[in-house]
Amino acid sequence: MDKIAVLDFGGQYSHLIANRVRRLNVYSEILDSNTPAESLKDYKGIILSGGPQSVYEENSPQCDPQIFYLGIPILGICYGLQIMVYKKGGKVSPGKVKEYGKADIKITKKEGIFEGLGAEENVWMSHGDEVAQLPEGMEIIGSTDNCVNAAVADFEKKLYGVQFHPEVTHTKNGMKIIDNFLNITGAKREWSLDAFIETEMRTIREKVGENKVFMLISGGVDSTVAYSLIQKAIGTERTHGLFVDTGLIRQHEREEVEQAYKKAGIENVHFYYGGEKFFSRLDHVYEPEEKRKIIGDTFIDVQKHVVETMGLNPDEWLLGQGTIYPDTIETGGTKNADKIKTHHNRVEQIEQLIKAGKVIEPLMQLYKDEVRTVGQKLGVPEEIVQRHPFPGPGLGVRCLCAMKDDYPENHEAVEKEINDYLHEKYDINGQILPIKSVGVQGDARTYRHPFLIKLHKDTKRDWELLGEISTDITNRFNTVNRVLLLLHPRGVMDVKVKPGYITKDRIELLQKADYRVTQFIKYHKMYGEIWQFPTVLLPLSLNEGSGECVVLRPIQSEEAMTANFYRMNWKWLDELVDGINETPGFDGVFYDLTNKPPGTIEWE
Ligand code: XMP
Q: Divide the 604 residues of the chain into consecutive groups of 10 and give the mean pLDDT of each group.
A: 95 88 95 96 97 91 96 97 97 86 93 97 91 97 95 98 93 97 98 95 96 92 96 96 95 94 92 96 95 89 85 85 78 39 57 82 91 96 92 94 97 98 96 94 82 91 96 94 96 91 98 98 97 97 95 89 91 98 96 92 94
Q: Identify any residues that bridge with 548 across adjacent strands, giving them in sequence order.
A: 586
The alpha carbon dihedral of 123, 169, 176, 128 has a sign of positive
From the list 15, 63, 78, 200, the catalytic residue is 78
- Note if 78 is an active site residue: yes
Residue 90 phi/psi, 5-degree rounding, is -85, -170
Residue nearest atom 11 of ligand 1, based on CA coordinates: 391
Q: For the residues of 506-566, what is the DSSP string, one character each?
A: HHHHHHHHHHHHHHHHHHTT-TTT-SB--EEEE-EEETT-SSEEEEE--EEESTTSSEEE-
User: What is the whole-number distance in angstroms between the Cα of residue 600 and the centre of ligand 1?
Assistant: 9
User: What is the whole-number distance in angstroms between the Cα of residue 338 and the centre of ligand 1?
Assistant: 7
CB neighbour list of residue 106: distance below 8 Å, 6 or more residues apart: 119, 120, 142, 143, 144
What is the DSSP code (8-state) at residue 219? S
Q: How many CB atoms lie within 10 A of CB 271?
A: 13
Residue nearest atom 7 of ligand 1, based on CA coordinates: 560
Question: What is the per-residue pLDDT for 335?
Answer: 38
User: What is the whole-number distance in angstroms between the Cα of residue 54 and the centre of ligand 1?
Assistant: 30
What's the CA gap between 414 and 16, in Å, rounded? 42
Q: Which ligand 1 atom minimizes the distance to the CA of 596?
A: 5
User: What is the whole-number distance in angstroms between the Cα of residue 330 and the centre of ligand 1?
Assistant: 17
Please, are residues 301 and 270 in contact by the beta-carbon 8 Å criterion?
no
From the list 99, 121, 130, 167, the catalytic residue is 167
User: What is the whole-number distance in angstroms between the Cα of residue 215 and the centre of ligand 1?
Assistant: 22
Question: What is the per-residue pLDDT for 480?
Answer: 96
Helices (H), 110-252: 174-185, 193-208, 221-234
Give me the long-range contacts of 417-424 (CB less than 8 A, separation at least 24).
Answer: 417/477, 418/451, 418/473, 418/477, 418/480, 421/476, 422/453, 422/469, 422/473
CB neighbour list of residue 210: distance below 8 Å, 6 or more residues apart: none
Q: Which ligand 1 atom minimizes the distance to the CA of 557?
A: 24
Ligand 1: lining residues by beta carbon, under 6 Å: 338-341, 389, 391-393, 532, 560, 596, 600-602
Question: What is the per-residue pLDDT for 445?
Answer: 79
User: Ligand 1, residues 300, 338, 564: which to mutate, most atoms within 8 A of Cβ?
Assistant: 338
What is the reported pTM? Answer: 0.81
- Note if 15 is an active site residue: no
Residue nearest atom 4 of ligand 1, based on CA coordinates: 601
Residue nearest atom 9 of ligand 1, based on CA coordinates: 391
What's the CA gap between 431 and 75, in Å, rounded? 51
Is the backbone peptide bond immediately before 326 cis, with ω within 30 degrees of 0?
no
Residue nearest atom 3 of ligand 1, based on CA coordinates: 600
Domains of the chain: 3-185 (3.40.50.880), 193-395 (3.40.50.620), 411-592 (3.30.300.10)
Q: Over the Cα atoms of the chain, what is R_g?
A: 26
At position 52, the amino acid (one-letter code) is P
Q: How many CB atoms lie within 10 A of CB 335?
A: 8
Residue nearest atom 14 of ligand 1, based on CA coordinates: 391
What's the CA gap between 483 and 599, in Å, rounded? 9
Please, are residues 79 and 51 in contact by the beta-carbon 8 Å criterion?
yes
User: What is the whole-number distance in angstroms between the Cα of residue 295 and the centre of ligand 1?
Assistant: 14
What's the CA gap between 23 and 370, in Å, rounded? 9
Residue nearest atom 18 of ligand 1, based on CA coordinates: 391
From the list 15, 127, 165, 343, the catalytic residue is 165
Q: Which ligand 1 atom minimizes the distance to the CA of 390?
A: 22
User: Ligand 1, residues 293, 481, 602: which to mutate, most atoms within 8 A of Cβ?
Assistant: 602
- How many Å separate Cα 15 from the centre of its chain? 12
